[in-house]
């Protein structure tokens, strides 16, 4: 078998004809001249009339072969598409407007889901920003074929901090599949309203349970958008126990002590015990175990809340 035949078989592009394989000495890479199969449609599933030659030949980064980078090179004429107007003709090996092949995009997106973007960029020999753009392309392509919000019945609502300086993201989780179905860069009523706008009235009516923390803005939006359609609010997460969560910094369990004059030391001691309250009972140090003895004697409500938390943890275990 000739070297050219081997290269043709190792290419990841489908419905593609390889014409010439050469090494670019300047770029130190392998360049494969290709063209779409004659039966390949040009745009939107139907042939489109030729418009002009566009910018001539283009290159698309493909998966590396050993230590050599590989590029596919082909003409990129423009066609007059009935749906998109004058645009570059579609090619079977890459998404529209992308500078990488579909195989390269899929590999980079999978790696980004398993490790950090920096590691992915280093292994794929590309930039950090390029990895982010690839992930966005792959997700957008998948979302066009799959409706993540269809059939939701039990959802979890939460906000996570992803950077210092009070940077938050609003996250929606489907409890049936244990997968994230919606995210927004920010938090507050406007973002939660945006989720229900995307969900639509019909899908919102299908919600049976919602889980969230004790934030007032979440409860207000749920009462306006979901509760009146039959969805029952259930605060089940750790934050969802609200101001009654053991060790929570909220004032629910500490307010009585604050109202008592001369009881500041007791309130401070209760606040300092929250890290111990979060730990598993089997992992407590001697000093923390002694703290629990003190809590049982001076704060029966807090001690009972901790026992409920441990019982719930035992159920899930």
Three-state SS string over the chain comes to CCHHHHHHHHCCCCCEEEEEEEEECCCCEEEEEEEECCCCCCECCECCCEEECCCCEEEEEEEEECCEEEEEEEECCEEEECCCEEEECCCCCECCCCCEEHHHHHHHHHHHHHCCHHHHHHHHCCCHHHHHHHHHHHHHHHHHHCCCCCCCCEEEEEEEEEECCCEEEEEEEECCCCEEEEEECCCCHHHHHHHHHHHHHHHHHCCCEEECCCCHHHHHHHHHHCHHHCCEECCCCCHHHHHHCCCCCCCCCCHHHHHCCCCHHHHHHHHHCHHHHHCCHHHCCHHHHHHHHHHHHHCHHHHHHHHHHHHHHHHHC
Q: Which range, 7-16, 95-104, 274-283, is most confident? A: 95-104
pLDDT number for residue 162: 79
pLDDT at residue 163 in the model: 72
For the stretch 121-170, pLDDT in tens is 999 999 999 999 999 999 888 888 788 888 899 999 988 887 776 788 89
**Tens-digit pLDDT profile for residues 191-245:** 999 999 999 888 888 898 888 887 888 888 888 887 644 445 544 444 443 333 3
pLDDT at 310: 83
Q: What is the mean pLDDT of the chain?
A: 79
- Give the pLDDT of residue 34: 87
* In the predicted structure, residue 173 carries a pLDDT above the cut 90: yes
% of the chain beyond a pLDDT of 70: 79
Q: What is the mean pLDDT of residues 64-82?
A: 87
Q: Give mean pLDDT, residues 20-45.
A: 78
Q: Is the pTM of this model over 0.85?
A: no
| Stretch 234-262: mean pLDDT | 42
């Amino acid at each position: 078998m000739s070297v050219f035949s081997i290269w043709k078989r190792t290419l990841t592009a489908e419905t593609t004809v390889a014409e010439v394989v050469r090494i670019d000495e300047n770029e130190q890479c392998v360049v494969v001249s290709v063209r779409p199969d004659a039966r390949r449609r040009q745009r939107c599933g139907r042939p489109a009339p030729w418009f002009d030659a566009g910018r001539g030949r283009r290159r698309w980064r493909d998966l590396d072969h050993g230590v050599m980078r590989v590029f596919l090179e082909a003409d990129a004429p423009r066609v007059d598409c009935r749906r998109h107007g004058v645009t570059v003709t579609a090619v079977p090996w890459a998404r529209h407007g992308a500078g990488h092949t579909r195989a390269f995009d899929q590999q980079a997106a999978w790696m980004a889901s398993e490790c950090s973007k920096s590691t992915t960029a280093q292994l794929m020999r590309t930039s950090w920003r390029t990895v982010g753009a690839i992930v966005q392309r792959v997700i957008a392509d998948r979302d066009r074929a799959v409706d993540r919000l269809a059939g939701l019945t039990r959802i979890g609502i939460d906000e996570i901090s992803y950077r210092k300086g009070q940077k938050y993201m609003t996250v929606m989780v489907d409890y049936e599949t244990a997968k994230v179905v919606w995210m927004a860069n920010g938090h507050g009523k406007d973002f939660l309203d945006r989720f229900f706008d995307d969900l639509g009235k019909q899908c919102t009516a299908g919600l049976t349970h919602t889980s969230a923390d004790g934030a007032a803005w979440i409860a207000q939006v749920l009462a306006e958008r979901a509760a009146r359609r039959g969805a029952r609010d259930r605060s089940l997460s750790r934050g969802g126990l609200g101001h009654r969560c053991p060790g929570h910094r909220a004032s629910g369990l500490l307010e009585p002590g604050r109202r008592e004059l001369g009881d500041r030391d007791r309130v401070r001691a209760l606040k300092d015990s929250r890290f111990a309250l979060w730990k598993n009972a089997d992992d407590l140090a001697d000093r923390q175990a002694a703290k629990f003895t003190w809590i049982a004697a001076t704060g029966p409500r807090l001690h009972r809340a901790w026992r409920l938390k441990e019982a719930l943890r035992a159920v899930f275990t």
